[in-house]
Amino acid sequence: MKIAIVGSGYVGLVTGVCLADFGHDVVCIDKDERKIAALEQGQIPIYEPGLSDLVASNVAAGRLTFTTNLASAVPSADVVFIAVGTPSRRGDGHADLSFVYAVAREVAASVSGFTVVATKSTVPVGTGDEVAHIIASTNPNADVAVVSNPEFLREGAAIDDFKRPDRIVVGIEDERARAVMTEVYRPLYLNQAPLMFTNRRTAELIKYAANAFLAMKITFINEIADLCEAAGGNVQEVARGIGLDNRIGSKFLHAGPGYGGSCFPKDTLALVKIAQDFGSPMRLVETTVSINDQRKRAMSRKVIAACGGDVRGKTIGVLGLTFKPNTDDMREAPSIDIIQGLLDKGANVVAYDPQGMEPARDMMDKVSFAKGAYEVAKGADALVLITEWNEFRSLDLDRLRETMKTPILVDLRNVYSHAEANKHGFAYSSIGRPLVENETLSLTDAAE
């Protein structure tokens, strides 16, 4: 099949390369000339494990190409995926659909023969209707079936998620699209990944409902963590105790500094807004958004408290900046609010992240950057672990402590334990765990 992907970011590029790997003939389109030029030279503009090799092998096999010229790529495509960004609209939190609609107009102008236009971008319910309307009004002769095919991949595990999805959701209004989309995903279907067809509006709602539910689950365990701190419980054990219940499940029950990233914050907010517009407010999600917003800033207060209530003139070392490990994505990362909270109170901040330093430099002009965890620790009054990269999981705590001014470790991901940190001379605080504990969990449990 001939497939064109419009938007070659985290989702578009991963979708394109995986579909090429299934044997389809794929062209990835982007309006960002630098991005396409880099891709043509074999450079991958984002950090995603395994992506570089998969791009190289599919380019070499002649199944994957890149272009900025949408008009040249679309006419021969059987399926055009829209995978452009849908950020929060400035000012009101609705999803900004201007990129999606711009692509719909461009596709309409160059489409030829029956074509499926599949929206992979996360879009509010009803967007598919508008895309179909834009295409029909821009080019009344266009023979197009607009489908919703939301993407559920996670950054950091994107290729595996795409190739081994829990399910593929396709929302259709035109029966002709069913056979085409079944063919697109045939290799996965043969692997028994459930391919779920529904109507377009339902598919759009499934994506937002999934993200909102996961965001609520994280927020729930974060509040339980606060209660554990107040009442003297251990949140990791509570999470394990409830997660072993199959009705609940153990995933997304890791207490931390609040969710961030390119999806949950904007998608929960967009769901809140669209639900209000439909006169059907989602109060659980509204509350989740507000709790999470406050939590990120509260984490800087936690660090300040661990430093004796004052960080003015003190140097705080930060380990991890990206919103989660194995990505270079800094969008809505909790580190942004936490660091700002520390800077506002007069701290100096030194930070290190394995992949996120380049994007972080553009956003954090008052932060100094170090080359590694041990350099961050040098002369620091406290260390804050914000992102649980693997390389922060087995740090030599003695080596860290020796170069620090004061051995304080604030572990916002519960990577270490009180017992371990205390043994190496650290004053230690974490999320939702008592100061004196009987650690029954292994680190593997904690890291899961």
Q: Which residues bind ligand NAD (CB under 6 A)?
A: 6-12, 29-32, 35, 83-86, 99, 102-103, 121-122, 151, 153, 155, 262-263
Place of tokens 């919703």: 148
Determine contact, residues 388/320, Cβ cutoff 8 Å.
yes
* Least gap, CB of 341 to ligand NAD (angstroms): 26
> How far is the C-alpha of 87 from the C-alpha of 109, rounded, in Å?
25
Residue 12 vs 334, nearer CB to ligand NAD: 12
* Least gap, CB of 32 to ligand NAD (angstroms): 4
> How far is the C-alpha of 214 from the C-alpha of 220, rounded, in Å?
10
Q: Annotated catalytic, 307?
A: no
Q: Which two tokens stand for residue 311?
A: 């960080």
Residue 12 vs 171, nearer CB to ligand NAD: 12
Residue 153 vs 291, nearer CB to ligand NAD: 153
Angle at 283 between CA 324 and CA 262, to 5 degrees: 25
* Least gap, CB of 35 to ligand NAD (angstroms): 6
* Least gap, CB of 263 to ligand NAD (angstroms): 5
Residue 86 vs 355, nearer CB to ligand NAD: 86
> How far is the C-alpha of 321 from the C-alpha of 350, rounded, in Å?
11
> 370 phi and psi, to 5 degrees?
-115, 170
* Least gap, CB of 361 to ligand NAD (angstroms): 18
| Encoded amino acid at 284, one letter | L
Residue 84 vs 415, nearer CB to ligand NAD: 84
* Least gap, CB of 434 to ligand NAD (angstroms): 35
Q: Checking DSSP bridges between strand 348-352 and strand 408-411, what pairing results, if any? A: unpaired
Residue 85 vs 258, nearer CB to ligand NAD: 85
Contacts 24+ apart (CB under 8 A), 51-55: 51/13, 51/14, 51/17, 51/158, 51/159, 54/17, 54/18, 54/21, 54/159, 55/13, 55/17
Residue 264 vs 426, nearer CB to ligand NAD: 264
> How far is the C-alpha of 212 from the C-alpha of 99, rounded, in Å?
23
> How far is the C-alpha of 206 from the C-alpha of 208, rounded, in Å?
6
Give me Rg for the CA atoms of the chain: 23
Determine contact, residues 145/177, Cβ cutoff 8 Å.
yes
Q: Which two tokens stand for residue 376?
A: 């961050």
> How far is the C-alpha of 271 from the C-alpha of 212, rounded, in Å?
8
Nearest residue to the partner ligand NAD, using Cβ: 9
Residue 8 vs 58, nearer CB to ligand NAD: 8
Determine contact, residues 164/50, Cβ cutoff 8 Å.
no
Candidates 18, 28, 263, 307; catalytic one? 263
* Least gap, CB of 419 to ligand NAD (angstroms): 36
* Least gap, CB of 67 to ligand NAD (angstroms): 10
Contacts of 92 (CB under 8 A, 6+ apart): 273
Sheet containing strand 115-119, strands side by side: 64-67, 25-29, 2-6, 79-82, 115-119, 144-148, 168-171, 195-198
> How far is the C-alpha of 319 from the C-alpha of 102, rounded, in Å?
40
Return the number of other C-beta atoms located less than 10 Å from residue 247's C-beta. 5
Catalytic machinery residues: 263
